[in-house]
Amino acid sequence: MNHIANLTFFRTPVRLALALAIGVALVGCTVGPNYKRPDAPAAKDYAPTPMPSGTESAAVKGGETQQLVQSMDIPGQWWTLFHSEPLNALIDDALKHNADVEAAHAALKASWEAAYAQRGAYFPQVNASINPTRQDIAKDLASPAASGADLYNLTTAQVSVSYVLDLWGGNRRQVESLVAQANAQRFELEATYLTLTTNLVNAAITEASTRSQIETTQQIIEAQSKVLSTMQRQHELGDVSDAAVAVQVTALEQSKATLPPLEKQLAQQRDLLAALAGRTPDQDIGAQFTLDALQLPTELPKSLPAQLVEQRPDVRAAEEQLHSASANVGVAIANRLPNVQINAAFGRASEKASDLFSAGNGFWNLGATVSQPLFDGGTLKHKQRGAEAAFQQAAAQYRSTVIQAVQNVADTLHAIDADARALAAAERAEHAAAQSLAIAKRQLALGDISESTMLTAELAWQQTAIALVQARAARYADTVALFQALGGGWWNRQDATDVAATVAPKEKG
């Protein structure tokens, strides 16, 4: 009874074709190299880097002591460590409206759709068609119609099946390559998130620094204006020379000349913040930033190089490109091997559509085509060599990306340590210059020093005050750079988890 049922099943040519296709596909092999992940970097550390230290006095905001914490996990929203609610709100808003993020999401979706589309070749392609025609046969030719009529209608309905056997795994390798490219695009999306958030935080820090420099410059201008007014009154009394007044006017105007470039920089930073948030410059983003409103993170993460290659989106994307290139070698090899295609059709034809399903009107056919490239002028051979060269290129690019990533972290650690020492020196210099200026003003009032001596003290304080603001901003900026260099904690971001949940598993080689 079972044998009869099996024979009945295989009498239908379409079912027979499907059974043959599935059976042959199951015994197919996969040519080309099976992908193996590169070994982790052998480096145990980045460089003999001293632990970053704070200023000798925490009187200045941003002078707190920082310490590196080995293997500290990075939060998905690492920017919240700066404890700025306006910054947190701005970044949350930007992630929803930034065009680059939207484009990266669309590119990821397109990549996966390409992989899903290629997976369709795993299955037979089945098409149904109906073809009504009216034909007139020449009198000298025998009519193919059952009625013998020279002029007749013919309606043909059929189901056709076409299937290319994946004997050598060429299609499986193609899908593997496309899945790897989709995974690479996923990490490109993470890199887009990381770039956007770091650009926003850096832009906020630059705005805060510029505001502080503008405020300091305005204080300098105000102080110099008071000195000039005093000197002008003394000049009217004959106590101060024309030359001394001219020197003070020059110093005041030079200070005023530094203000427009700072105001321009502030306006441009506001434009940048608006653009990053997905808005045009005429749309006010509301949030404004100052250095005093930002808190410097005191605990900083430090991941070993072996962890770094798992955390950096650019390294992970380079690895997926390497995987894709490896699979493409298998595709190129499979294209040079014999190809088998099965075709089958089952249908009915009749002069009258109403008789289409009458007895005797059915037809079917089943066939297979085996083809082997014999001569193509070396096209397929050179395509294979090209795929192998592309694989070597991807391997070299991956190694280069890893080395640059490790260098990036090492450079940032050096910068953080140098920033701490630079800020300490800048704070001491500004404190000393401020004291010197205060003493000089008292001495000038008593007539113990000349106006030029007091002016020298004033210019020294001006330079140290601006340098202190810049040193504070540098500590914030290089702290941001460290979070970026270590990958930005994308693996802890909820949206990244949602993206990963929709990713299909990788194809087995």
Separation CA 354–CA 46 (nearest Å):
82
Separation CA 479–CA 205 (nearest Å):
11
Q: How far is CA 122 from CA 24, 119, 187, in A?
A: 12, 6, 27
Q: Say whether 317 sits in a helix, a strand or coil.
A: helix
Q: How far is CA 337 from CA 172, 333, 371, in A?
A: 15, 7, 9
Please say whether the dihedral angle defined by the alpha carbons of residues 144, 146, 151 and 153, taken in this order, is positive or negative: negative
Separation CA 280–CA 363 (nearest Å):
67
Separation CA 358–CA 353 (nearest Å):
10
Separation CA 52–CA 415 (nearest Å):
9
What's residue 49's pLDDT?
Answer: 55
Q: Which amino acid is at 490?
A: W
Percent of the chain with pLDDT over 90: 62
Q: What is the average pLDDT score of the chain?
A: 87
For residue 501, name the pLDDT band (cuts at 50, 70, 90).
low
DSSP per-residue letters across 208-220:
HHHHHHHHHHHHH
Judged against a pLDDT cut of 60, whether residue 48 lies above it is answered with yes
What's residue 109's pLDDT?
Answer: 96
Question: Which pair of structure tokens corresponds to residue 118?
Answer: 């290629």
Residue 121 or residue 55, greater confidence = 121
Judged against a pLDDT cut of 70, whether residue 59 lies above it is answered with no
Q: For residues 219 and 298, is the Cβ–Cβ distance under 8 A?
A: no
358-369: average pLDDT? 89
Residue 457 or residue 36, greater confidence = 36
Q: How far is CA 355 from CA 132, 143, 151, 358, 429, in A?
A: 13, 19, 18, 5, 103
Among 68-82, 99-113, 308-322, 349-363, which is the least confidently predicted range?
349-363
Angle formed at CA 287 by CA 281 and CA 288, multiple of 5 degrees: 95
How many other CB atoms are found less than 10 A from the CB of residue 238?
A: 7
Domain at 49-103+181-293+304-337+401-501, CATH from 1.10.472.10, 1.20.1600.10, 2.40.50.840, 1.10.1740.10: 1.20.1600.10
Instruction: Tell how many helices (H) and how many strands (E) occur in the chain.
Output: 12, 6
Percent of the chain with pLDDT over 70: 89
Among 213-217, 259-263, 442-446, which is the least confidently predicted range?
442-446
What's residue 280's pLDDT?
Answer: 92
Residue 300 or residue 501, greater confidence = 300
Q: For residues 206 and 269, is the Cβ–Cβ distance under 8 A?
A: yes
Question: Which pair of structure tokens corresponds to residue 353?
Answer: 């559509």
Separation CA 335–CA 174 (nearest Å):
11
441-456: average pLDDT? 80
What's residue 11's pLDDT?
Answer: 47
432-445: average pLDDT? 89
What's residue 122's pLDDT?
Answer: 93
Question: Which pair of structure tokens corresponds to residue 237?
Answer: 């009394």
Separation CA 79–CA 197 (nearest Å):
8
What's residue 487's pLDDT?
Answer: 95
- Side-chain-side CA neighbours of 337 within 13 Å: the count stands at 18
- Look-up of token digits 């630079």: 422
Phi and psi torsions of 126, nearest 5°: -110, 130
Judged against a pLDDT cut of 50, whether residue 315 lies above it is answered with yes
Question: Which pair of structure tokens corresponds to residue 21?
Answer: 């296709």
Per residue in 455-493, pLDDT (tens digit) is 778 888 888 999 999 999 999 999 999 999 999 999 998
375-384: average pLDDT? 94
For residue 141, name the pLDDT band (cuts at 50, 70, 90).
confident
335-356: average pLDDT? 90
Judged against a pLDDT cut of 70, whether residue 119 lies above it is answered with yes
Phi and psi torsions of 49, nearest 5°: -105, 125
Judged against a pLDDT cut of 80, whether residue 1 lies above it is answered with no
Judged against a pLDDT cut of 80, whether residue 205 lies above it is answered with yes
What's residue 286's pLDDT?
Answer: 86
Longest distance between any two alpha carbons in the chain, whole Å:
133
For residue 506, name the pLDDT band (cuts at 50, 70, 90).
very low
Judged against a pLDDT cut of 60, whether residue 16 lies above it is answered with no
110-128: average pLDDT? 95
Separation CA 483–CA 486 (nearest Å):
5
For residue 142, name the pLDDT band (cuts at 50, 70, 90).
confident
Judged against a pLDDT cut of 80, whether residue 124 lies above it is answered with yes
Q: Say whether 126 sits in a helix, a strand or coil.
A: strand
Q: How far is CA 489 from CA 98, 311, 368, 480, in A?
A: 20, 7, 54, 12
What's residue 52's pLDDT?
Answer: 54
